[in-house]
A and B are shown apart, each in its own frame.
Chain A
Amino acid sequence: MPDATLTAELKDYLESEALIRFGEEITEDTDLFKAGVLDSFGYIALMNHLHERYGVELGEELLDSVRVSLRAIVELVEASAVPSAAHGEDGR
């Protein structure tokens, strides 16, 4: 189950960055590239944000996911973020 706080934070970030509102038209499962929400500048800004805010350093793998949606981003951040003590995994 994706972390609700993380989802809310990233939703806020994307809404503010791309001047959009998540709702009926753009949902957590919408492909953000195809919907024109994410572009190359927005993508780089998102990468920088994930790096600075969550310590995530992603290369190609984020967009290798089938769908670049809010949900997919949250899941990838959860999977690759600098771990809390409870997980004890290596961050990238």
Chain B
Amino acid sequence: MCGIAGAYGGELPSGSHRDLIEGMLRQIEHRGPDEAGCYLDDRLVMGTVRLGIIDLANGSQPIGSADGRWWLCYNGELYNYRELRRELSARGVRFHTDSDTEVVLQAWLTWGRECLPRFNGAFAFAVYDSAADELTLVRDRFGKRPLFVARHEGTWLFASEMKAFLAYPGFRFRFDQEQLASIFATWTPLPAQSGYHGVEQVPMGEYLRLRGDRVERGRWATLDLEPGPAPESERDAVELIRAELAAAVDVRLRSDVEVGVYVSGGLDSSIIAHLAAARQPGPLRTFSIEFDDAAVDESAEQAALTARLGTRHHAVRIRDEDVVRAFPAAVRHAEVPAFRTAFVPMYLLAEQVRQAGIKVVLSGEGADEAFLGYGIFKDVLLLTAWHDLDEDTRLDRIARIYPYLPHFAGEGAARRMLGLYRQFTEERLPGLFSHQMRFQNGRFAVRLLRDAPDPFEAVRRLVAAEPGYDALAPVRKAQWLEFRTLLAGYLLSTQGDRMALGHGVENRCPFLDPAVVRLAASVNHRFGDPFDEKYLLKRAYADVLPQRVVAKGKFPYRATDSAAFVRAAPDYRDTLTDSTVLDEIGVLDPRFTRALVDRVFDGPAERVGTKENQAFTLLASLFWLHHWFVRGQARERSPLRCGLHVVDRRTSALPA
């Protein structure tokens, strides 16, 4: 895994181009601490920091074509690189390394952009045609790897992480109220959002082509959730799932370094650990998080699983003070506002993984989106059918949606929820039927913002512009939204890539293999009870996993939110309500901010629920984002630690 950065076009700043790209790469060196390389041209500087995983000796970057016309800076892994390499070799392509990076370049030279749908991997890259002065920036289909772009005085900046822009002379971060309102209401940045003025993401499955002043944006992969033909029987469906997941794990174990597995204690990561353990000659290394807070701890399930599989297990125990202490550093890597603190323990876990000598981990992300594991998919089934159901059926289904949430538990709870669900049986936000309750709840956090615009405008525009979205069935619309918001905007990024790569650890997600996602679409809700989530996954692996893991049901990975700050860092109360700081941040409403902080710190605890926790975490993360990005404190000024390999193709550097 790696990080990339660069600047294209306009008037590149005077002074050394080498120093410019070194400064940008230094900001993201944690993503690839093993080596760094750059390409310099009259119109372009770009570079890569590399985490060596495949072909450690020869996989250096940047990599160029034999004739020196094409240059590639690549961040990612192509899991099917061996198959593509064979196919390209059969067409006469000669390879000089065993790296997947060279396969990407040769595939691009052979097929052009048409190579992209052939790629099974997680990647973001910049490929430059020096003859045409054309730079293409590309991002993978699910948004596994990040790619940010900013326009600064006629120059295009791009990088795996926004903090690279801090090293570009004159560049400043400024919060964008409109984007913040959308992020606070919908939990995460939308695919193109960053939270800052003038900074965008290349959305998943898209590319950006730059040629002089010409800009072309396009999409190479759509999120196809239409079901294919159904398997003939439940047994067939189970066999297909086993086969596709095994294949997805097989290709993700391709690595020249040891691969570990994150285990949460839940079904999805347990399946991955089982499959990986069966394929390793020695004991598999597994890693997990334990909490002092029993409400979020899953160590009993983790212990049952790792004992069953005989893994070499490492657990990190997280206390309140650990969350608070690591929060600023984790936000620095997250780069965008966070609505819960669960990404922080993942940062601490990655640190332990790296210390244990592991650079690659597999995890269970994507299973809940592909196989409809979340309560929101049951919500939409219930709400769609609401008017056809009698009251007893409604009550029964409500009780089965979020059994782990306290306000769904207890006598009479389901009955009290009736009126709430009834409120959301009509579509008030066009195209967002499934997520109305969640988004509506997000309005509370939006009140943190002064002069907040309509927080749902951006997400409405997103679905309105999506070809074919309107015709999707309600559950598939919900699934599309989950892939495009929570998965890409938080789980894969803030909680995934950014925390792991913060310590030079690459995370891989077998459930996001395109073949697995395609198969899931064809089997979902065709067998079993849709209110028994991930029914087929449980059927497929019940015989090899501990019973308590399979029987537990959906229990989302969470960490202690505002209570950790109240218990371990009471000084946050003054910090977050300081007039000078609030004035400087500028976008916050001081009255609501103070009322919220008072509520969180004064309690009582039962009055601090999900919405208060989310708003508080968004506030605390915004405070640190202001410090790191708007004030620029995240900038590293020291030189690259691993040195810099330079390919200098500037006119001034070429021999006469």
Contacts and interface: CB of A to CB of B under 8 A. Distances in A.
B419 A36 contact: no
B422 A44 contact: no
A18 B607 contact: no
Contacts of A78: none
B610 A41 contact: yes
Contacts of B441: 39-41
Contacts of A41: 407, 441, 609-611
A68 B423 contact: yes
A62 B446 CA distance: 26
A41 B406 CA distance: 11
B416 A36 contact: no
Interface in B416-445: 416-420, 422-423, 437, 440-441, 443-444
A39 B422 contact: no
Contacts of A61: 419
A64 B422 CA distance: 8
B112 interface: no
B606 to A, nearest CB: 9
A18 B444 contact: yes
Contact of B416 (A19, A33, A47, A64): A47
A36 B444 contact: yes
Contacts of A42: 444, 611
Interface of A is mostly: helix
Given A45-B609, A60-B419, A19 B447 contact: yes
Contacts of A40: 420, 437, 440-441
Contacts, number: 67
A61 B422 CA distance: 9
Contact of B420 (A17, A18, A19, A43): A43
A59 B611 CA distance: 23
Interface in A59-78: 59-64, 68
Contacts of A57: 412, 415
| Most chain B beta-carbon neighbours within 10 Å: one of A19, A42, A44, A47 | A19
A10 to B, nearest CB: 16
A36 B443 contact: yes
A29 B422 CA distance: 20
Interface stretch (B73-81, B499-507, B591-599): B591-599
Interface in B280-300: none
A41 B608 CA distance: 10
A48 interface: yes
| Most chain B beta-carbon neighbours within 10 Å: one of A39, A43, A57 | A39
A39 B419 contact: no
Contacts of A82: none
Interface string A43-61: 1110110010000011111
Given A19-B592, A19-B599, A59 B420 contact: no
A68 B440 CA distance: 14
A58 B419 contact: yes
B418 A39 contact: no
A19 B419 contact: no
12 contacts: A17-B607, A19-B447, A33-B440, A36-B443, A36-B446, A40-B420, A40-B441, A44-B417, A59-B418, A60-B418, A60-B422, A64-B422
Interface of B: 391, 407, 412-413, 415-420, 422-423, 437, 440-441, 443-444, 446-447, 592, 595-596, 599, 607, 609-611
Closest 3 CB pairs of A and B: A36-B443, A63-B419, A39-B441
